[in-house]
Amino acid sequence: MLGNLKGMVMTFITSLRTPVTAQYPDVRMPVEERRMGFPMLLWDDNIVEPYCTGCMVCVRECPTKCMSATMTDNPKHAEGTSHRRKIIDVFEINIGRCILCGICVDVCNFDAIEMSYETELSTRTRNGRRMDLGELLERGYNWQAQSGWIPASQRVQNSEEQE
Ligand code: SF4
Ligand code: SF4
């Protein structure tokens, strides 16, 4: 009997609490400024070309198989203005299948891809959000400016110079 009463009191108290459920997208909860969003491709301003060589390592390692890429011979390498023999030709990420695991970033040896701050890219259509090379580079370029990103190889070089 006492147990039942306690339960009813607890239910009554709980019913007076302010709801904690936010009805997205009408109500947006605050998110950390440096959150991990969808992956984007990065742009090498020094050579004026993508960092991505189309090596396919990320494509092979992606657990949801949502990426595809093809490489081509880099004309700038033939001209002697780029150290990249190969360069990305076609790249696509099916954002609807990306689980934001970050594996593509971890396995890339060319500083070519990073997890951006972009988290709101959902659609109501199955497979309805595919990003091609142009969009991935444009969004990546904006993210580079926003975050002050410098390549990992450059960061290592900077820290060695400071030592
Ligand atoms: S993003 Fe990196 S791992 Fe993926 S294809 Fe480009 S260079 Fe290779
Ligand atoms: S974050 Fe994970 S799931 Fe998304 S593209 Fe990269 S490897 Fe694939």
Catalogue all structural domains in the chain, each as residue range(s) with its CATH number.
38-150 (3.30.70.3270)
| Ligand 2, atom 3, residue with closest C-alpha | 98
What's residue 57's pLDDT?
98
Probe ligand 2: pick from 58, 104, 131, 136, max atoms within 8 Å of CB?
104
What's residue 58's pLDDT?
98
What's residue 31's pLDDT?
82
Tens of pLDDT, residue by residue, the chain (163 residues)? 788 999 999 999 999 998 888 888 888 888 888 889 999 999 999 999 999 999 999 999 999 999 999 999 999 999 999 999 999 999 999 999 999 999 999 999 999 999 999 988 888 888 889 999 999 999 999 999 999 998 877 777 777 777 7
What's residue 126's pLDDT?
84
**Nearest ligand to the CA atom of 69:** 1
What's residue 19's pLDDT?
82
| Ligand 1, atom 7, residue with closest C-alpha | 52
**Nearest ligand to the CA atom of 62:** 2
C-alpha torsion 130→66→52→46, nearest 10: 40
What's residue 74's pLDDT?
97
Q: Which residues contact 82 (CB under 8 A, 6 or more apart)?
A: 47, 49, 74, 76
Cβ neighbour number for residue 75 with a 10 Å cutoff: 11
Q: How many Å is the Cα radius of gyration of the chain? A: 23
Phi, psi dihedrals of residue 79, rounded to the nearest 5°? -75, -15
Residue 32 to residue 44: CA distance in whole angstroms: 27
Distance from residue 152's CA to the centre of ligand 2 (Å): 19
Distance from residue 57's CA to the centre of ligand 1 (Å): 6
Distance from residue 72's CA to the centre of ligand 1 (Å): 13
Residue 110 to residue 152: CA distance in whole angstroms: 9
Q: Which residue do the tokens 């259509």 mark? A: 125
- The model's pTM: 0.84
**Nearest ligand to the CA atom of 51:** 1
Distance from residue 86's CA to the centre of ligand 2 (Å): 23
